[in-house]
Structure 1
């Protein structure tokens, strides 16, 4: 009886005793808290999602310290790329790996069989991405500013740019992560499908290397995907205005950054709607 009552309360159905029905916001927040708890209970996810960018900054900052432009050293450049990578990891990579696990274990099948609206599942994932992504980004910025002299913006305009680049970037990567999750046939294949894609994008998008030092064909391929534009937008926030001249177009092209990231939000949503599966192929 208690299980039935709780299910009715969560789905907004009337329950005995005059218990208040949960609205859409309450359902989403409850699912979000569940997703966050599940994430934190997975040591592998916590270490990889939050620890990997920090470890990479510590390693690369210790190895490379020279200047790549007047007033800009390699560490400052690399940090902006790792902030973008951290956002991609918690959204694209995390969802692309864990959704196939939940599908293979039957979690999605059982969820679809409950009265809970399907959108609540995705709302929970989005809330988890926002919370963990915000914490991870704040951690990276704090460590970079405290240990490696990352110059924090001093005006509202740059922080506003940081905000919309992060929001559009995370939205695009979240939708792409949900979309690519359908390619994995089993729980074990999720990591094999997603991780190589994420690593290749990091190498060709100006995270580990100065973007303009890469071969032209590699830059053209990177320009198709969101990570390159996330890195470019964040460089406009944390690097001097003069560094814009080192970009391929001679400026940070913030208008184009917004356009490409917004386009990927639409593309990712369409692919999700067309390809997302609640069951494995063997279940039909």
Structure 2
């Protein structure tokens, strides 16, 4: 073989054919992402502990009180921890997906990690699969801890078996939407140091207007209208449909759980996040070309 001639020998071709596929690389990348998340102990503690602490505080303060709702045909009561749990599950998913992904990508872009990864043979899709895998694993552990706390400390009843299917698709769709929107929003912070200052206020505002900390029907009408534009409100409503009695559907804005609309809004944000993410995602800092 002369110099400069590509090596097309069978041995070389076999070596190329042995290169792992995108899915396999994505799984390896998910492990790397998870290890990196575990090493960032301050962020890990906040992501895991925040929903648990808020659940414990609110449930302890209002644990002896029932949430009473006028359903038009009568009054219905449910203990506060049971009503509060769906909102905390929803906000936990948002923390693990949207907030974690947006801040981590902005940081990795700023410190040059993304630039170095771009120079490797790793497909870009594998990088994003790694993020999704990490978010799914973290979210599962976080929700399991929340449910365990609710059951063991506050005697929150678990839904019947048939409702767990609703939980599954709301969880998967909500996690995917939050992750994709996090990728899209990661282009907003101008540096890794400013990422938390940009992302966290957005998350906090959405929590307050989406019925996470307060019963959604008690919020002002204008606030409810604003919340309906964003996915967290629908994610929380989907979780309420799992953990609350069917009669509480009458408390929702339309008087029903609106599962199709929940899927539609979350799906729309998923598509919107994908479109924006593809168009705005950058591997380099703004000042790096």
Q: Per-residue deviation at 1:22? A: 1.8
Q: Per-residue deviation at 1:21? A: 2.9
How far apart, in 2, do the equivalents of 1:29 and 1:40 lie? 17
Note the alpha carbon deviations across 1:44-96, whole angstroms, 9 max, x for none. Answer: 12111111100111111111132113341222111110000000000000011
Higher helix share: 1
Q: Per-residue deviation at 1:145? A: 1.3
How far apart, in 2, do the equivalents of 1:92 and 1:25 lie? 22
The counterpart of 2:246, out of the listed 236, 241, 249, is: 241
How far apart, in 2, do the equivalents of 1:14 and 1:54 lie? 53
How far apart, in 2, do the equivalents of 1:19 and 1:174 lie? 32
2:47 touches 2:96 (CA, 8 Å); kept in 1?
A: yes
How far apart, in 1, do the equivalents of 2:24 and 2:207 lie? 37
2:210 touches 2:236 (CA, 8 Å); kept in 1?
A: yes
2:22 touches 2:125 (CA, 8 Å); kept in 1?
A: no
State how 1:1-284 maps to structure 2 within 5 Å.
20-65=18-63, 66-69=65-68, 70-156=76-162, 158-284=163-289
1:14 touches 1:21 (CA, 8 Å); kept in 2?
A: no
Q: Paired residues, what number? A: 270
1:36 touches 1:128 (CA, 8 Å); kept in 2?
A: yes
Q: Per-residue deviation at 1:118? A: 1.1
Q: Structure 1: which 5+ residue stretches go unaligned?
A: 1-12
How far apart, in 2, do the equivalents of 1:37 and 1:245 lie? 44
How far apart, in 2, do the equivalents of 1:166 and 1:14 lie? 43
How far apart, in 1, do the equivalents of 2:99 and 2:13 lie? 39
Q: Per-residue deviation at 1:120? A: 1.1
Note the alpha carbon deviations across 1:84-109, whole angstroms, 9 max, x for none. Answer: 00000000000111111100000001
2:103 touches 2:199 (CA, 8 Å); kept in 1?
A: yes
1:205 touches 1:231 (CA, 8 Å); kept in 2?
A: yes
Tell me the TM-score normalized by structure 2.
0.90
- Three-state SS of the structure 2 residue aligned to 1:57 is helix
1:151 touches 1:239 (CA, 8 Å); kept in 2?
A: no
Q: Per-residue deviation at 1:230? A: 0.5
How far apart, in 1, do the equivalents of 2:22 and 2:42 lie? 31
Tell me the TM-score normalized by structure 1.
0.92
Runs of 4+ in 1 over 2 A off after TM superposition: 13-16, 18-21
Q: Per-residue deviation at 1:115? A: 1.7
Over aligned residues, Cα RMSD in angstroms?
Answer: 1.6
1:150 touches 1:238 (CA, 8 Å); kept in 2?
A: no
1:182 touches 1:276 (CA, 8 Å); kept in 2?
A: yes
1:80 touches 1:234 (CA, 8 Å); kept in 2?
A: yes
Q: Per-residue deviation at 1:15? A: 8.0
